[in-house]
Amino acid sequence: MKERELKKNNGLDAGLRALHDIFTVTGPQMLDIAEKFYEAMLAGLAGQKGPLKMLPSFLSVPTGKECGVFLSVDFGGTNVRVSLIELRGNGRITVIKKISTPLKEPGRYDYTSSAATGRELFGFLAEQIAGLVRPGENIPLGHTFSFPTEMRSLNQAVLIGWTKEFKTGMTEGRDITLLLREALQRQGLHGIRPVAVINDTVGTLLAAAYGDPHADIGSICGTGHNTCYLEPRPPHHNGPVIINIESGNFDMLPLNDFDRQLDRHSEKPGEQVLEKMVSGRYLGELMRLAVLDLVQKGCLFQKNSGNITGFPFKNNSLGAEHMSLMLGDGSDGLTGTAAWLKEHAGMRDPLPVELSALKTIASLLTTRAARLAAATYAGVLRRLDPFLKLPHTIAVDGSLYEKTPGFASHLRLALDEILRERAGQVTVKPAKDGSGMGAAIAAAIAAASEEML
């Protein structure tokens, strides 16, 4: 190897080692995070100000006997999903029809930007619903709204504040169900009756608990990150209630300079600190910052740096889906990653070590995300059952968990590391589309309690 290349490789190795050090969450750190998370949960339950809002959902887990046909609207990530769902009892759920539409189409519309209003956004949701039902149909609707909301009843939620860089105007502080109901009226959908509004974590837990009596934690590892659980002794309710922790806002965490940099340039600095380390909305940008640092230090892409066009110099030029592509690139020459670089950075012939460096960095970030999420789950388990005497199921939905190579296995390994000989009591399972199905279950519970009145 020529001397210059050798020197560069040494620089790259040292750079990667430094990244490894700052992005590694050790075993003792996970235990510390679990403990602090548990204490923050207690503080939130007691109504003290702190990072965890601990929002009651007005719902417990389903009996499994809920039946009927319901509409579900699942809103809060990249796409809005509207489904017609039949609940058949004991965990049997059939999705009769489903449509999924992006909330933004570059050059055409963007309902997540500050240029759009809540009225327009909900008008768009109502149009999607109109695409799925026949005129005049009467169907109760469950609505998954995946943002922090203050729940005033099972069917009344007020948006506390946007997360995940959503900026839609005139929506914060508004009654979400009212916005939806008005939009349905404007669309002429008089028979579509919103009866329940829930968080997506709550939907995920409801869907899992419909067929699994041990399910008591629901979590999303997707565009955003959050967890809910079945609180056995809620302070102001009789009997167990599902609490939306809003865990993405947890902030007692070891941050590095890249985390701080990302936070400073986010829509809401200082908020959603855990989410900014764990979720798909931010992981790509975090990786871009780490890669950019190596480029600026002269250890990566030097041969190409003069003519790179987009990545890593352009903000948000790397998404979690691209990280998945790199992580899943099993080809000898990492040809998928090379093709991506050619398309997104205009880079023609990166060195093999440079391609594998990208894979290494993607893996460091997803591993850290999985270990942080696992530590918070351990905090929740401590509240539920400190000695893990009973079996528990953690249901997880979201693109990161479902699609990012390595994320789910690192999550499991981290839980095993934290819970040790009791780890077998805890099952982690995917709840694909759980958040939408959960909305149908919530609607069934609400419709049944309406009938009893």
CB of 427 to ligand BGC, least distance (A): 21
CB of 405 to ligand BGC, least distance (A): 21
CB of 223 to ligand BGC, least distance (A): 6
Closer CB to ligand BGC, 200 or 216, in the complex:
200
Please give the backbone phi and psi of residue 425, each rounded to the nearest 5 degrees, phi first: -75, -15
Closer CB to ligand BGC, 158 or 423, in the complex:
158
What does the buried/exposed string (b/e) look like for 310-338 if buried means 16 or more CB atoms within 10 Å of the residue's CB?
ebbeeeebbbbebbbbbbbbeeeebeebb
CB of 430 to ligand BGC, least distance (A): 15
Residue 442: HSE in the Cβ half-sphere, 13 Å Cα cutoff:
34
CB of 55 to ligand BGC, least distance (A): 9
Closer CB to ligand BGC, 277 or 355, in the complex:
277
Cα radius of gyration rounded to whole Å, the chain? 23
Contacts of 180 (CB under 8 A, 6+ apart): 73, 122, 125, 126, 143, 194
Closer CB to ligand BGC, 181 or 225, in the complex:
225
Q: Which long-range contacts (CB under 8 A, 24 or more apart) does 356-362 make?
A: 357/12, 357/16, 357/294, 357/300, 358/291, 358/326, 359/326, 359/327, 359/329, 359/334, 360/16, 361/16, 361/19, 361/287, 361/290, 361/291, 362/287, 362/323, 362/326, 362/327
267 in helix, strand or coil? coil
Closest CA to 216 of 62, 89, 61: 61
- Do 419 and 386 contact (CB within 8 A), yes or no? no
- Do 66 and 441 contact (CB within 8 A), yes or no? yes
Question: How many whole angstroms separate alpha carbon 343 and alpha carbon 53?
Answer: 42
CB of 145 to ligand BGC, least distance (A): 8
Closer CB to ligand BGC, 177 or 304, in the complex:
177
Closer CB to ligand BGC, 224 or 312, in the complex:
224
CB of 125 to ligand BGC, least distance (A): 16
Closer CB to ligand BGC, 133 or 380, in the complex:
380
CB of 410 to ligand BGC, least distance (A): 19
CB of 379 to ligand BGC, least distance (A): 17
Contacts of 452 (CB under 8 A, 6+ apart): none
Contacts of 283 (CB under 8 A, 6+ apart): 320, 323, 365, 366, 369, 400
Token look-up 């290349």 returns 5
Closer CB to ligand BGC, 164 or 322, in the complex:
164
Residue least distant from ligand BGC (Cβ): 224
Question: How many whole angstroms separate alpha carbon 437 and alpha carbon 295?
Answer: 45
CB of 280 to ligand BGC, least distance (A): 10
CB of 266 to ligand BGC, least distance (A): 12
First to last CA, the chain: 80
Closer CB to ligand BGC, 140 or 248, in the complex:
248
234 in helix, strand or coil? coil
Strands 149-153 and 156-159: antiparallel
CA 233 to chain centre: 26
Closer CB to ligand BGC, 112 or 163, in the complex:
163
> What is the binding site for ligand BGC (CB under 6 A)?
76, 146-148, 163-164, 199-201, 220, 224-226, 246, 248, 275
Closer CB to ligand BGC, 77 or 123, in the complex:
77
